[in-house]
Structure 1
């Protein structure tokens, strides 16, 4: 596996490799579409934060997480499992998110989800381990691998912004689904995570040119 995405030097290595492998990526990078290096804490806290933030606004996610942090001391699998569903719902978690984070915490405690070793594994293998946990889907797994672990080859092909950016950048008639985008992304290995970051950056540029709001 390539070095983790923890420094600007590694990000630049990835961008250079993508430009050499794919003329479209080369054009985007040459036009100044370069992503920022962004990373969240790894481990249970980072994964729980991603689950909390699903399908809610950034402000709502921050508010819910702030309330959770007040009752999670420390924010660990054990402390989460010690709380009742009622306490967690009062903090703002939906019943589905309570179940997902509880299943995640249980898997960590029981040893079936080795979060401390996922960065050592190929992206696809780490992805499969994460999605074995009930409630963790492909998007959640890939976002955790990319933004919490800095895995350079994690690829959230189900992300709508990444799909739309690929449609525009590659001149496709329709927005590619996760499977079609996964096929396209094969040329970017082992830097698919960097390619995803480029496409997110390009999405913001493309929407700004169209005058559309970026969500």
Structure 2
């Protein structure tokens, strides 16, 4: 279950009360809408399919998978398909390996997506065991599909840019810098991440003047 609009609003209100720069950002662009993804295997497979391609291309590959392997939401469908079939659907050799890794982790029970550890770092550690799922993908999954309120995808370029803009930095902060800064923003970092994407979408005009 993703963070609700009410949870995002409450988190941002708490942050705005503590940091005037966030209050000014809220006044400029308003509260963001929730970002919702389905919990489970299909969302992670779509993450792999969508890496380094456009949304249009990723959707086309997904449709081909449905036509060639049956329901790609079933990990057994990926396990049982040949490499040739997966390549015909549009998966590269590398993504074919990633998709098989995900299916194997789920089918073997090593990755139980309905019972990930409550500790965020432990959950991330389990997800990144899957080939093709890095820390950013794991964090976004936990934020959008599980609604974990304190996830902070500090490696995201838009998050880095908007934190810098909001706080008036001359240059984009590094991942290390905004991880350190964000310690003061616990336990509402998930709401702030969603807000930074919202602020980024508003364009440079939303930046402080």
Structure 2 residue 183 is matched with structure 1 residue 186: yes
Kindly tell me the number of residue pairs found equivalent between the two proteins. 206
Structure 2 residue 2 is matched with structure 1 residue 8: no
Quote the offset at 1:208 in angstroms: 5.6
Structure 2 residue 122 is matched with structure 1 residue 125: yes
Quote the offset at 1:13 in angstroms: 1.9
Q: TM-score, normalised by structure 1?
A: 0.87
Quote the offset at 1:92 in angstroms: 0.8
Are the counterparts in 2 of residues 22 and 187 from structure 1 also a CA contact under 8 Å? no
More moved, 184-193 vs 6-15:
6-15
- Which one of 78, 81, 96 corresponds to residue 80 of structure 1? 78
Counterpart in the other structure of 2:93: 95
Alpha-carbon RMSD: 1.9
Please give the alpha-carbon distance, in whole angstroms, between the structure 2 residues aligned to 1:142 and 1:162.
13
Structure 2 residue 174 is matched with structure 1 residue 177: yes
Quote the offset at 1:91 in angstroms: 0.8
Instruction: Point out where structure 2 has 5 or more consecutive residues left out of the alignment.
Output: none
Quote the offset at 1:27 in angstroms: 2.0
Please give the alpha-carbon distance, in whole angstroms, between the structure 1 residues aligned to 2:51 and 2:28.
32
Instruction: Point out where structure 1 has 5 or more consecutive residues left out of the alignment.
Output: 211-215
Counterpart in the other structure of 1:56: 53
Counterpart in the other structure of 2:135: 138
Q: Residues 98, 208 of structure 1: CA spacing in aligned structure 2 closer, same or farther, 3 A cutoff?
A: farther
Quote the offset at 1:123 in angstroms: 2.2
More moved, 26-35 vs 88-97:
26-35
Question: What secondary structure does 1:31 align onto?
Answer: helix
Quote the offset at 1:47 in angstroms: 0.8
Q: Residues 203, 89 of structure 1: CA spacing in aligned structure 2 closer, same or farther, 3 A cutoff?
A: same
Please give the alpha-carbon distance, in whole angstroms, between the structure 2 residues aligned to 1:190 and 1:50.
26
Counterpart in the other structure of 1:42: 39
Q: Residues 72, 148 of structure 1: CA spacing in aligned structure 2 closer, same or farther, 3 A cutoff?
A: farther
Q: Residues 195, 150 of structure 1: CA spacing in aligned structure 2 closer, same or farther, 3 A cutoff?
A: same
Question: What secondary structure does 1:152 align onto?
Answer: coil
Please give the alpha-carbon distance, in whole angstroms, between the structure 2 residues aligned to 1:33 and 1:9.
13
Question: What secondary structure does 2:202 align onto?
Answer: helix
After TM superposition, list the pairs within 5 Å mapping 1:23-42 onto structure 2: 23-42=20-39
Are the counterparts in 2 of residues 8 and 37 from structure 1 also a CA contact under 8 Å? yes
Please give the alpha-carbon distance, in whole angstroms, between the structure 1 residues aligned to 2:48 and 2:87.
14
Are the counterparts in 2 of residues 5 and 152 from structure 1 also a CA contact under 8 Å? no
